[in-house]
């Protein structure tokens, strides 16, 4: 955004008196500062700074203990580098404001290695250097809830007499009753060039999915996913609901997934996964091979929180085995059917609680390594993957942390600083939860053991 464009933006948004300058941290949470609107040009030109450690806070907003970005560097500042998207007018909020998303850079112009958006930028550049362009689409699930004393409940829809009490897959009635809510989402997405596509009611009571159309810019696809979550949460509140992208907000209902579809174009614009057959090309199979090889050690990216592992249970519509197959939704990796020219890979492991930048970095990075190293995948799986004898994803948080920390393919995808600090942050969060005794434990054990 140039100075002239900034002035035009201010003229078009006269009611805005503040801009939030924000970086996406390792948990997918925006962290930053509010500045007066008259500092917009300063912010656009790298005049705003914030600690480099801001991109590695834990889920509670705390510094990582003994973080090398805090004490070893004196908690040095990073330079806020605008992403190029410009300022987003948050017109969906009660009081309009501006949002300027940034990445963190160093004084010498190099990126801060622990910045999750910089991680995806590095992977995207590796594709570009090979004359390749990933084309990415995301599918995001969320629940609309009513919250009482901090506990989510299934909501009561407009004009209904009772709360939702059952799963209602592909219910047109539920979509119709929420037409005002969905209309507002589509208006906000259209205003900010987010290609929101179809909406459906999903497998849980009050659960919905909206697809974002494919983009030949992985950075924009991740930006759109992050901004989409912000829009949905804000508009839900305006309609009397709370939207959650928790992986498993209700223990006995379906979890929220974040599925990724991607293909890869060469310099001529041809899809390298297409060879005119149903099976797809060698490049597709090598990409699958890389994804399979990296899946165990990258599970922490796809399932980053304690709650994430409640979603990953057999038969719960989330993959548990490391397997792939054609048109097989029980597999972690699915090759959809359809026209050969649209041959693509669907990665089904991540929950909706995943950081979209780290998630896409892990997926695209592993696929690229698979193609570079010509990693042959195992045979495609037919039938129910939950009942097949396949290697298993880590089923608990600590196992996933250790697999990530020591993963050889993770080390080829992410900056070593990000690997160290991400693992430390997750271990710190784990220790926090281990110190909490739940009500369910008191109920089970207090007077019985």
- Would you tell me how many other CB atoms lie within 10 Å of the CB of residue 320? 21
CATH number for the domain formed by residue range(s) 126-414: 3.30.590.10
pLDDT at 176: 81
Rounded to the nearest 5 percent, the helix, strand and coil shares of the chain are 35, 20, 40
What is the 3 state secondary structure string of 273-310? CCCCCCCCCHHHHHHHHHHHHHHHHHHHHHCCCCCHHH
pLDDT at 200: 87
Domain range summary for the chain, segments of one domain joined by +: 3-112, 126-414
pLDDT in tens, 155-175: 877 766 555 655 666 567 778
Pairing label, strands 324-326, 333-335: parallel
- Would you tell me how many other CB atoms lie within 10 Å of the CB of residue 269? 8
- Would you tell me how many other CB atoms lie within 10 Å of the CB of residue 387? 11
pLDDT at 110: 94
**Closest listed residue to residue 312, CA positions, set 391, 208, 396:** 396
**For residues 386 and 19, what is the distance between their CA atoms, to the nearest angstrom?**
48
**For residues 256 and 249, what is the distance between their CA atoms, to the nearest angstrom?**
8
Q: Which pTM does this prediction carry?
A: 0.94
CATH number for the domain formed by residue range(s) 3-112: 3.10.20.70
**For residues 243 and 224, what is the distance between their CA atoms, to the nearest angstrom?**
17
**For residues 283 and 286, what is the distance between their CA atoms, to the nearest angstrom?**
5
pLDDT along the chain (449 residues), means of 10: 73 90 97 93 92 96 91 84 90 85 93 96 98 97 90 78 59 81 94 91 86 96 96 94 95 93 97 95 98 98 97 84 95 94 96 98 98 97 93 96 98 97 97 95 95
pLDDT in tens, 212-250: 999 999 999 999 999 999 999 999 999 999 999 999 999
């Amino acid at each position: 955004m140039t100075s002239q464009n900034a002035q035009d933006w201010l003229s078009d948004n006269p009611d805005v008196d503040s801009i939030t300058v924000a970086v996406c941290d390792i948990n997918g949470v925006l962290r930053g500062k509010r500045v007066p609107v008259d500092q917009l040009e300063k912010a656009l030109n790298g005049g705003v700074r914030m600690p480099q450690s801001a991109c590695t806070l834990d889920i509670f907003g705390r510094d990582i203990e003994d973080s090398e970005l805090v004490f070893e560097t004196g908690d040095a500042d990073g330079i806020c580098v605008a992403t190029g998207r410009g300022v987003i007018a948050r017109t969906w909020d009660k009081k309009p404001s501006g949002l300027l998303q940034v990445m963190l850079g160093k004084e010498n112009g190099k990126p801060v290695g622990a910045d999750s958006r910089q991680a995806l930028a590095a992977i995207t550049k590796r594709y570009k250097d090979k004359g390749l362009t990933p084309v990415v689409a995301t599918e995001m699930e969320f629940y609309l809830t009513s919250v009482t004393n901090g506990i989510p409940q299934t909501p009561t829809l407009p004009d209904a007499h009772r709360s939702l009490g059952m799963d209602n897959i592909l219910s047109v009635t539920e979509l119709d009753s929420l037409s005002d809510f969905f209309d507002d989402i589509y208006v906000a997405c259209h205003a900010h060039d987010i290609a929101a596509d179809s909406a459906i009611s999903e497998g849980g009571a009050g659960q919905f999915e909206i697809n974002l159309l494919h983009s030949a810019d992985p950075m924009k696809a991740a930006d759109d996913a992050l901004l989409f979550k912000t829009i949905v949460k804000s508009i839900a509140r305006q309609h009397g609901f709370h939207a959650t992208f928790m992986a498993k907000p209700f223990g006995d209902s379906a979890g929220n997934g974040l599925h990724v579809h991607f293909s890869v174009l060469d310099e001529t614009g041809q899809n390298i996964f297409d060879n005119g057959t149903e099976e797809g090309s060698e490049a597709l199979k090598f990409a699958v091979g890389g994804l399979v090889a990296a899946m165990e050690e990258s599970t922490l990216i796809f399932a980053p929180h304690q709650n994430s592992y409640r979603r990953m249970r057999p038969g719960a519509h989330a993959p548990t085995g490391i397997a792939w197959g054609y048109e097989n939704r029980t597999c972690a990796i699915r090759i959809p059917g359809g026209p050969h020219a649209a041959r693509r890979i669907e990665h089904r492991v991540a929950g909706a609680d995943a950081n979209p930048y780290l998630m896409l970095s892990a997926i695209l990075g592993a696929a690229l390594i698979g193609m570079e190293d010509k990693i042959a995948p195992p045979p495609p799986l037919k039938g129910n993957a939950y009942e097949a004898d396949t290697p298993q994803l880590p089923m608990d948080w600590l196992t996933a942390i250790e697999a990530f920390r020591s993963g050889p393919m993770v080390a080829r995808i992410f900056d070593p600083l990000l690997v160290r600090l991400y693992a430390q942050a997750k271990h710190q969060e784990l220790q926090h939860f281990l110190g909490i005794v739940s009500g369910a434990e008191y109920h089970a054990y207090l007077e019985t053991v």
